[in-house]
Amino acid sequence: MKKLVVSIMVVVLCLAPSLLCAANKSAPGAPPVYVITNDDGTLHSYATFYVAGGMQGDPTLSYLENINTHGFGIGGGFFGTPRLAMLPSSSAQCLYVSNASSGDIAAMDISTLQLVGNFLGSTNDNGTSNGIGMVLNQNYLYAGYSLSNTIATFSVGAGCQLSFLGDITVTPLNGGWIAGMALNGNMLVVTYIDGSIESFNTANGIPISNNDKQNAAGFASAYFPDGVDITQDGHYAIFADAAVPTTVEVSDLSSGKLGPTIPYLVSEPTNVIGPGVNSATVRLSPDQSLLYIGNSQSGTVSAAFFDKNTGKISPGCASKQLKNFYNPWSYIGALATRDTGGTGTVLYAAEFGSSIGILNVTSTGTTCTLTESASSPVTDESSPGLLSIEVFPPRPF
């Protein structure tokens, strides 16, 4: 009997490394999964690359490299501003990182982890107050400058080069500033953090307003859309409201314009202290079955069930408060999923302060869980105020 136990143990020990490798996303031979941060540093700003790894159910992040953006950030700003951008394709090779203080966009080659260049818009463009957001398609990159309220259009050239084409100035309804941005096909949707939202047609390069500027429904309750995401088919835009109870709003884009938004109060989950506070960021799962919501001021992440056919949202689950909330990090920023299919399996949360939260996701389609991993959070040392995070290969939309 004793011999049998020993034999089993030997077999297990021999197999263990290969089992470990099978669960490790950065296994030799497999392309690495990068988790990338815009560190937004005020004295020197980096994009930091981490490699996703760990066992199933126990994901980890390993620091890989800091790439100097050769620009300067501001260490904070709007939660919903996307400060990192890349094409939603595994073949994408260009990463764009905005530098809010120096006002430029750093272009990087993901395959070589090298800075390609820094690109400026017009002299009017200014994002020093709350950041520079970016979205792009195959041909153009759109940069929203929070202080000047301008959207600059750059053409995307070979080798990740950008060429500035021109600016438009936006005029939020209630005196706000451009914050959240999302692009699907020729539909560019932006939020102005004062309750108003607007969409633009980018078919001709420079955005043209769809003349649908409006106050979101939440405006009446002083809920201000901040982050925004668009479904893969471009049918719906989903807005994250800076609101005390977790609230998101959905707009139907099928008319080519923003339809009136429908607010969804994602009811209080049972496993967190109180309702989510300040639900300022959203991210659809790759299969669009779940909508992840960052509750920036309660240190929790919610997941709501999303019906991509109807655009309807129903309550799902929420994490417990993520570790080290308010000690030392203080807000949840952007969210990103590790896997490019399904629920994404692992969710990363930018923690302002600065670290990266790592959560395991499970879903049966009607119930779900969000559980912080044992190795979470991972310190993002070179960031004074992390708000933006992305994953490569990216979600395919």
Partner 1 sequence: MRAIAKCILSFLIAAAALTSASAQVQICPPRPLAGTLVVNPLDLYSQNGVLNVDLTLQNQFGSDGFEHYCYVYLYQGQQVEAPTLRLNPGDHLVLNLTDNIQAPYYRYPKQKQMNMVMHQPPRPGTKSSDDCNGGDILPSTTNVHFHGLNVPPVCHQDDVIYTLIQSGETFNYDVQIPPNDNPGMYWYHPHAHGQATTQVDGGAAGAIFINGVIPGTQGLPERVFVIRQQFKNPNSWLPGPNQLTVNFQPAIFPNSPSPYINVQYNQPEFWRIVNASTQAFLTLQLQFTSGFQQMEVVALDGVPLQNPLYESEIDLPPAGRVELITPGLPNNEEGQFFTAGFDTGPVGNPNPPQQLMKIFGTNDLKAKLRPAPAPTKPPADRPRFAGLLTQQPTTTRSLFFSEQTVGSNGPTQYFITVNGQKPHVFHMDDPPAIVTNTGAVEDWTIENRSGEAHDFHIHQLHFLLMAINGVPVQNPELYDSFTIPNWSGSGPFPSITVRMDFRDPNIAGTFVYHCHILDHEDGGMMAKIQVNPSNQH
CB of 98 to partner 1, least distance (A): 14
CB of 120 to partner 1, least distance (A): 23
Between 263 and 353, name the residue whose CB sits nearer to partner 1. 353
Between 84 and 346, name the residue whose CB sits nearer to partner 1. 84
Query: What is the number of other CB atoms lying within 10 angstroms of the CB of residue 152?
Result: 28
Between 109 and 268, name the residue whose CB sits nearer to partner 1. 268
Between 172 and 316, name the residue whose CB sits nearer to partner 1. 172
Q: What end-to-end distance do the CA atoms of the chain give, in Å?
A: 56
CB of 128 to partner 1, least distance (A): 10
Tokens of 303: 């997941």
Are 41 and 73 in contact, with CB atoms under 8 Å apart?
yes
CB of 1 to partner 1, least distance (A): 49
Q: What span, in angstroms and rounded, lies between the C-alpha atoms of 74 and 329?
A: 17
Between 26 and 297, name the residue whose CB sits nearer to partner 1. 297
Sign of CA dihedral 124, 67, 51, 137: positive
Query: Which has the closest alpha carbon to 341: 276, 275, 394, 388?
Result: 394
Between 161 and 330, name the residue whose CB sits nearer to partner 1. 330
Query: What is the number of other CB atoms lying within 10 angstroms of the CB of residue 260?
Result: 12
Are 388 and 84 in contact, with CB atoms under 8 Å apart?
yes
Are 317 and 323 in contact, with CB atoms under 8 Å apart?
no
CB of 175 to partner 1, least distance (A): 3
Between 193 and 368, name the residue whose CB sits nearer to partner 1. 193
| Per-residue b or e along 370-383, where b marks 16 or more CB atoms closer than 10 Å to that residue's CB | bbbbeebbbbbebb
CB of 353 to partner 1, least distance (A): 8
Q: Are strands 58-68 and 187-191 parallel, antiparallel or unpaired?
A: unpaired
What is the binding site for partner 1 (CB under 8 A)? 74-81, 129-131, 174-177, 179, 193-194, 221-222, 224, 226, 242-244, 273-274, 277-278, 280, 296-297, 299, 321, 325-328, 330-331, 352-353, 385, 387
CB of 236 to partner 1, least distance (A): 22
Those residues whose C-beta lies under 8 Å from the C-beta of residue 9, and which sit 6 or more positions away, are none
Tokens of 80: 């919903």
